[in-house]
Every structure is written in structure tokens, then in C-alpha cells.
Structure 1
Amino acid sequence: MNSRRCLVIEHLSVEHAGTFKPALEGCGYVVSSMPAAMISERQDEVASADMVVVMGGPIGVYDAPAYPFLNVEISLLKERLASRKAILGICLGSQLLARAAGSKVYPGKSGIEIGWGPVFLTDAGRQTPLSVFGSETMVLHWHGDTFDLPTGAELLASTPKYLNQAFAIGTHALGLQFHVETTAEELEQWFVAFSGEIKAVQIPTLSELRRDTQLYSAELARKNMIFVERWIGQLTSSGG
């Protein structure tokens, strides 16, 4: 029997699939990755994949005039939404998914949200695989943009700073503004790549980010494995 294929779209090499990869492989997926900047030449791979995971990055959806490949991504995500093919969007990926579903994406008025902290699940969110990330779970926040909830989408999680932290469109598309896939090793690369942002926000400091990463990343990795297994189970039971 042929394995299902998951394509990970990366906007920056340091923002990769992380713990999604072993979790998806454990569920029977063959996982490969693609630089987002190459998407125009590889559209067929995006269209044919059983699942697409769209990762984060330091640019915004509204930067498409400078980075035209974003428009190609949005167009391909629209097609996947129309055909009810599985999509998981993380951070920028969730914003691209929201835009593909017809919503606006823009810089948040509450400023940059960086650091480890909980998300608060809605009643609907507590009935989904996201329930593993209850209010006692520390996830990683690293964004300054936000978006309007797409028409027909279900809000699953919020934080005091930003309302729209997770949403679902049917059972086949899920957007998470926060990160659940990161590891301590990966974040050391982030601390270099995004040193300017860390200095700009001042709180948390680099030392605080390192401390919290050591405290929370292993538990987050464990729970992310459970989340992925449950989400794949949901996709399978719904025919995705």
C-alpha cells in the first residue's frame, strides 16, 4: 500500500517541521520539505500531496508585492480548501490559510507576542485534538501579525493579547498562530536568526527565552506527538 505524502513548505530553513516530522512519520506519512520560494516551479507537488504543512517565517502575507511566491501559496491553499485536502498552517502558515479563506491579515495592534505561555481553548477547541494543549501547557508564541477569523471557520484558541490563535475550517484545515513543533536545538538557531526581534521586545530577554525553552520544550514535544496522532485520526475518520 502506498504511503501518504506530507509536504512541508518552509519560508526559512530554521523554521522547519521540528517534531511534526517524527509524529507524522509515526502515523504513516512520508514527509518531505520545499522552500516556499520554489513553489512556482513545484505547484504540482503542493496540489498532489495528501497533506500540506505550511510553516512560519519573518515576512507577512501583506508582503506579497515584494515576495510574489506568497500569492502562489495562497492560490494553492485556496485550491486545497476547495477540494477539502488536508492543511496545517503554523504562524505565518495560519495567516496564509486565513487569507486563502478570504480573511484579512495585518500587523497586530497589541505588538509582537514572543515567549512561552499558554493558550486558552474555546469550548469548541476543547472538543478537538488541541485539547492536549490545555491552559496548563506552555506553547511558543512568536508573531506580530494577526488576522480576522475566516467566514465559516471555528475559533479554537485565544490568548489575552490576540483573540485568533487557532481555527479550523471543517475537519481538513487547521491554523495555529502559535508553535507546538519547536525543539530546544531548533530554537537556538532562532535566537540567532531573530536576535533583532528579541532585543526589540526586551521582555522576554534571551536568557529568559533559553530558561523557558529548557523548562517547557520537552513536554511540548511529548504533547505534540499526541496532538498529531489525534488530528490524523480525525482526518482519517472524516475521509481526509
Structure 2
Amino acid sequence: MAVLVVQHVAQEGPYEVGSALEAAGLPLRVCRVWAGEPVPEDLTGAEALVVMGGPMSAYSDDGFPTREAELSLLRTALATQVPVLGVCLGSQLLAVAAGGRAWPGDTLQVG
């Protein structure tokens, strides 16, 4: 079993989150959608799901061809109680998948 990480852009990898998971004995399986890797259709072999950040919009497919597949994967994780961590864009997608919404704040946040 591994933690599935969805990475949207090359420069926004799992970094410290990945290091912490690996230190806890949880191997990573990184899906690099920025490099054309397809989003898995299900969570087979995944113990948890981490969805990283990116400049895309959680509400638009423009420039984000994997958005619907990622929302489907997040909904599956929620329905089957697979632990999920959303970082930046990933948290916005998680909110949308759970039936909530996300919106811009009043201040710029950089992590």
C-alpha cells in the first residue's frame, strides 16, 4: 500500500509532506499529471490520497484537463473513507468534491 500523490506542476511536489509520510513508513506513488500521467480511475493500492497545489481553478476545466478525474477520485476517497490531504488547489478540489465551495481570500497566501 502507498500514498497516492497527485502533482499538478513540476515545482509543487510533495516535499515535506512526502518526507514525513515516507519517514512514517508510507511509500509514495506520485501521479505527475503535469507530465501527462493519467489520474488513476480508482484508489486500488492507495492507503491515502494527497492532492497538491497548482495555478488552476477548482471550478474550470480550462487548462486543467484532469479536473473531473481528480474530483471523481476525491469523491471516491470520501465515500470509502480513504484519508485525504489537499494542499492549496488540492484543498479547493476537496471542498468541491465534498459539496462545498472555495473562494479567493482578501490576502495573498504563499506557502
TM-score range, shorter chain: 0.7 to 0.9
* Structure 1: distance between partners of 2:13 and 2:63: 22
Q: Which aligned segments of 4 or more residues in structure 1 are displaced greater than 4 angstroms?
A: none
Contact map agreement 2:58 2:67 (CA 8 A) in 1: yes
Q: What is aligned with 1:60?
A: 57
Structure with bigger RCO (C-alpha 8 Å, 6+ apart): 2
The Cα offsets for residues 5-58 of structure 1, whole Å up to 9 and x where unpaired, read as 111110001000111122111111011211235334x324xx121011110001
Residue of structure 2 aligned with 1:104, choices 101, 106, 109 = 101
The Cα offsets for residues 158-192 of structure 1, whole Å up to 9 and x where unpaired, read as xxxxxxxxxxxxxxxxxxxxx4xxxxxxxxxxxxx
Percent identity between matched residues is: 34
Contact map agreement 2:56 2:63 (CA 8 A) in 1: no
Q: Flag the structure with higher strand content.
A: 1
* Structure 2: distance between partners of 1:17 and 1:50: 16
TM-score, normalization by structure 2: 0.85
The Cα offsets for residues 50-90 of structure 1, whole Å up to 9 and x where unpaired, read as 01111000111122244231011001100110110011100
Q: What is aligned with 2:38?
A: 39
CA gap of 1:64–1:105, structure 2 versus 1, over 3 A, is farther
**Once superposed, what is the RMSD of the aligned Cα atoms?**
1.8
Count of equivalent residues? 108
Q: Secondary structure at the match of 2:37?
A: helix
Q: Bigger radius of gyration, 1 or 2? A: 1
TM-score, normalization by structure 1: 0.42
Residue of structure 2 aligned with 1:73, choices 50, 70, 75 = 70
CA gap of 1:19–1:109, structure 2 versus 1, over 3 A, is closer
Q: What is aligned with 2:91?
A: 94
The runs of 5 or more residues in structure 1 that have no matched partner are: 114-140, 143-178, 180-240
Amino acid in structure 1 at the alignment position of 2:66: F
Contact map agreement 1:9 1:35 (CA 8 A) in 2: yes
Q: Superposition pairs for residues 136-147 of structure 1, below 5 Å?
A: 141-142=109-110
Q: Superposition pairs for residues 211-230 of structure 1, below 5 Å?
A: none
Q: Flag the structure with higher helix content.
A: 1
Q: Secondary structure at the match of 2:76?
A: helix
* Structure 1: distance between partners of 2:61 and 2:99: 15
The Cα offsets for residues 121-175 of structure 1, whole Å up to 9 and x where unpaired, read as xxxxxxxxxxxxxxxxxxxx32xxxxxxxxxxxxxxxxxxxxxxxxxxxxxxxxx
